[in-house]
Amino acid sequence: MSLLNDALRKRQSEHRPPEPPGAAAAYMDRRGRRLHNRHRAAGIILALLVVSAAIAWTWRPWEDAEQPPTQRAPLAAIVQGLPVAAADESPATPSPMPAPTAPPLDMATPAPPAPAAPLFQSPESTSSPLLPRTSTPPRSSHEKVAAPVRRPHKDDMSAAQPSPLPARRITSPPLYEKARMFQRQGRAAEALAMYREVLKLDPDHFDARLNMSSIYLQTDQFTQAYALAAELHRRAPTHLQAILNLAIAQIGCGRAAEALPLLDQAAALPQAPLYTIYFHQGVALRQMGRTEAAIDWYRKAESLNPGDPRLLFNLALAFDQNQSYGQAVAYYSKYLNAAGKQMDAAGRAQVQARVRTLQAELAAVANGENTQ
């Protein structure tokens, strides 16, 4: 049986067409035996690795012999299309790009509203982003390898420089409204910062300067308030709020005599805030030592707003200075009740101590009168 099989294989080999010597030798080992499929696969993988290494070496970006190494353009400049200065030249100053700004609110531009009425305070009280690395696309062994690409020179890229984008225009009304919102919420520092941004866009914005002077008055910054209010009064001598702010700033700076004519002028204007005017008339007169006249103006203000803690405290001080201790104790007590939790513990303790002192004085006076 084995002889028959050997005869058949010999006959088949005689009728088989002869293989090329090179191809047959590639699939035969040193002993002349035919290689298995795993050997073929290993040979194919090895050949692909050799071809890939040759392609990667061929595509290596060689330096241009005509261009010195110091004049090579960086990769970021080539990708972005920006001109590169030579090493022996001073770098060109890039044209300033417009800073990205927030767009204005999509709303109709309102007419400039009237300035917010202030709460008047009594004088007593870069690195660039990394560029992605591009990998060489795979190539087959039948493709022709291209020659190394020469990097473009800076003169060739000057025409490809992108034009700067137009800057967005910011208008002052949205910023002004945001500043007013901060002021109504009691966020004085943020409101002042936003009003300054408004003045950068519109230096002559009257209402922004007026509201800034009101915030300075609320925070007892009378010097800054006086500078703004004096300028506004020169620009608008009959503006009611400008007159009041200037008068209050003068009182805060110790110029009560100069504030009184302005308060009289404001009282004569239509829609004048009489309570504010009467209250600061009393403050100015008490600062000048005219306590009796100050009490009269405080009384007029009390008829319009009897529960204001500032007014009650100033009335108590005026009676205390006038040695009307009974009235002073009464208004100190009203002040403590009206202030409530808004008053800190230290201030409340100080007022309570003064009340006890005055009550002891009144008791001593009463006992002395009774013994007589």
- pLDDT at 371 (0 to 100): 43
Q: Please check whether residue 258 lies inside any domain of the structure.
A: yes
Does 223 lie in the same domain as 177? Answer: yes
Q: Please check whether residue 131 lies inside any domain of the structure.
A: no
- Quick one: tokens of 293? 């006249």
- pLDDT at 248 (0 to 100): 97
Does 266 lie in the same domain as 179? Answer: yes
Does 298 lie in the same domain as 221? Answer: no
Alpha carbons 160 and 234: distance in angstroms, whole number = 55
Question: Model-level pTM greater than 0.85?
Answer: no
- pLDDT at 47 (0 to 100): 86
- pLDDT at 9 (0 to 100): 77
> Per the structure, how many domains does the chain have?
2
- pLDDT at 16 (0 to 100): 62
Does 207 lie in the same domain as 257? Answer: yes
Q: Please check whether residue 278 lies inside any domain of the structure.
A: no
Does 320 lie in the same domain as 255? Answer: no
Q: Please check whether residue 238 lies inside any domain of the structure.
A: yes
3-state secondary structure the chain: CHHHHHHHHHHHHHHCCCCCHHHHHHCECCCCCECCHHHHHHHHHHHHHHHHHHHHHHCCCCCCCCCCHHHCCCHHHHHHCCCCCCCCCCCCCCCCCCCCCCCCCCCCCCCCCCCCCCCCCCCCCCCCCCCCCCCCCCCCCCCCCCCCCCCCCHHHHHHHCCCCCCCCCCCHHHHHHHHHHHHHCCCHHHHHHHHHHHHHHCCCCHHHHHHHHHHHHHCCCHHHHHHHHHHHHHHCCCCHHHHHHHHHHHHHCCCHHHHHHHHHHHHCCCCCCHHHHHHHHHHHHHHCCCHHHHHHHHHHHHHHCCCCHHHHHHHHHHHHHCCCHHHHHHHHHHHHHHHHHHCCHHHHHHHHHHHHHHHHHHHHHHHHHHHC
Does 230 lie in the same domain as 186? Answer: yes
- pLDDT at 33 (0 to 100): 56
Does 243 lie in the same domain as 199? Answer: yes
Q: Please check whether residue 369 lies inside any domain of the structure.
A: no
Q: Which domain holds residue 350?
A: 294-358
Does 247 lie in the same domain as 181? Answer: yes
Does 336 lie in the same domain as 268? Answer: no
- pLDDT at 246 (0 to 100): 96
Q: Measuring CA to CA, how many Å separate 185 from each of 178, 182, 197, 208, 215?
A: 11, 5, 19, 16, 12
Q: Please check whether residue 108 lies inside any domain of the structure.
A: no
- Quick one: tokens of 56? 């990667």
- pLDDT at 145 (0 to 100): 42
- pLDDT at 141 (0 to 100): 42
Which among 268, 261, 269 is positioned nearest to 280, based on CA atoms? 261
Q: Please check whether residue 24 lies inside any domain of the structure.
A: no
Does 260 lie in the same domain as 335? Answer: no
CATH number of domain containing 226: 1.25.40.10
Alpha carbons 313 and 333: distance in angstroms, whole number = 9
Q: Please check whether residue 151 lies inside any domain of the structure.
A: no
Per-residue pLDDT of the chain (372 residues; tens, 9 = 90+): 677 777 777 777 766 655 555 545 555 555 555 556 677 788 888 888 888 888 877 766 544 444 444 444 443 333 344 343 333 444 344 344 444 343 333 333 333 334 433 333 333 333 333 333 333 434 444 444 444 445 555 554 444 454 444 444 456 789 999 999 999 999 999 999 999 999 999 999 999 999 999 999 999 999 999 999 999 999 999 999 999 999 999 999 999 999 999 999 999 999 999 999 999 999 999 999 999 999 999 999 999 999 999 999 999 999 999 999 999 999 999 999 999 888 889 999 999 999 999 999 999 888 876 544
